[in-house]
Amino acid sequence: MDTTRYASFIGRLLIGLPFAMSGFGKLAAYGATTAYIASAGLPVPPLSYAIAVLVELGGGLLLIAGYQTRAVALALAVFSVAAAISFYNNFADQNQMIHFLKNVMMAGGLLQIVAFGAGALSLDARSRHDSGGVAGVAHAR
């Protein structure tokens, strides 16, 4: 049994699912989320809200599926660090420090995905295997 095959998928699932769930949660709480963004002093809260939903929901689902995984993981890593700096910068508050470190740890895991890719159980791996399939045959003619 090739545990690496399954470990990479489970890792993507465990990192991508919280992002997707957070994005879904933001869809149900526009007012509260934009107010929270405004309280952090970020410019144009509605735009920041739209970016957060797109990155979290879209990025989380793409990461789970293993599609464009390295680019998606890099975007999520940058987003995680930016969120940590923007929202959890009061290190005197232990709760904020924990959230800051959680975001930094997520960025570290995401950078591992950037470095090593999606793994075997992913759309990225499937598209590499299909490159010599029907499209490759049609192109060769």
Instruction: Categorise residue 10: left if φ over 0, alpha if ψ from -120 to 50, beta otherwise.
Output: alpha
Among candidate residues 124, 127, 126, 131, the one with its CA nearest the CA of residue 62: 124
pTM of the model: 0.88
Helix (H) or strand (E) holding 135: helix 134-140
Structure-token match 């997520």, residue found: 106
Q: CA 77 → CA 11, 19, 108, 109, distances in Å?
A: 15, 11, 7, 8
CA-CA distance, 75 to 91, in Å (whole number)?
25
pLDDT digits (tens, 9 = 90+) for 5-25: 899 999 999 999 999 999 999
pLDDT digits (tens, 9 = 90+) for 48-82: 999 999 999 999 999 999 999 999 999 999 999 99
DSSP assignment letter at 141: -
pLDDT digits (tens, 9 = 90+) for 102-141: 999 999 999 999 999 999 999 999 988 654 443 333 333 3
